[in-house]
Structure 1
């Protein structure tokens, strides 16, 4: 079998550059699968396995959002520069620059799921389907559920976390050690973490500008500009088939995910019983099956008539 073609480069976005990678050949008969990573302030690396879908005829587009990875870094930008609208505009720009805006499917993970849902709510003509993976519908919901998950940590862990949060010492080794207890339960339950997940984590640590400005020091202490933001009001306007994914042990708990199921008219929800925030890494075979079935349903009409079962 011939190797799947891969193209990498950057496209202009305002006076900046957005890095992208295309695996497969757009325009070859199936919609492009556009992968929107989380964070905000992470990179595409931890989602690179989705490129495997190119072997089944789906052109797969990864990109690094502005401020991280291969895209333009802006460590001195005013905090007000980093907004959800900036990243929605960047996604819109990428779709048009790559010439795929008339035929694509969006896969958004975590923050990227919120961004993808917001984009979908504008009803772009070329969008064929939407996948919202491990994404809360709002940060107020997320924060309320973080308190629930933190209360379930081993004795003393949350006390340590809160002591450092109150003191502003979230960079301390003791805080980091306690933080990793939460991460090993609710971010990725594999030990050790896969290399691609570590790659994204280290990229965010190397330049934490976006993550710290919009989110905060970690996943469960959201004190950045996103703390009051959400997409709940936009969900009823989404008019494409939507697959919602989450893990049984996910930091995106059912309470935070349920609005997608309840408010998007044509949404199905699949829960991965042995996963937390990264089912594509934690249960890769089942993930491939579930996503592949959905892609066949929305991207190749008539190829399959089965639909993904609800969670």
Structure 2
């Protein structure tokens, strides 16, 4: 700052105002200072800024899930990509870690807080009975739940309307003429899974369908294939199956082919999350479409606002829209 002040012919305080985009200098002076800073190849020292602002310049993200499910689900890659797009512009780092269970995740929050490693955390997979919000409030660590809100409402959240999205899928399948519909769900303890299961049950009751109950899985292709095989082996098998992610839906199409069934002539398939997988499969999969990258960006923006002192509040993101493709059709004739 002393070098820039000397070269620009201004005080060091004027340099500070200009470089931190604060009032106190004229626009002409600000531009002259920024020009000198550029000539001198000046960049902010993140460590020094963290010390002066009592901030780490880092946001934390922990996944307490089986590692294999993270490696095969495009959703998480798009979500993290959206977060990083915002954080990188704001010169914030993303500290990412995968742990075995929620106890390990909570221990990590305590460690990060005690070491001042992060300014806030993005919390994924809110649970029905989730102990994490109470801990984060106790620590005073800014946090945003992705997929909430929880029943306690103590930590703000960003979420999409899973209830309405599931209802739209059932409405669509019933409109095609399906009366036997199954739902292969994800982890049952997750709030968004519960919302989908509850909505599926409500929609099938509304239409008086002869339907199967939701089946919980770990989101893996193995589980999707196993449950599909079991459903199709039952008397009066479903003519349509809704899968809670793209990976399980693709596995389900494969199982149908093994059993000599044609998609969509014999079985209609719907994937919850759209991805490249859905568009590369033959036939292309009917899927719920949303901008997951943008969802991740919105989450990062919301957390940064909380860190800056904005009042916490819940944010409902865009509802995913159903895009019919080649994997759905009217059911086979009796």
Interval containing the TM-score (normalised by the shorter chain): 0.3 to 0.5
Flag the structure with larger Rg: 2
TM-score (norm 2): 0.37
Which structure has the highest helix share of the two? 2
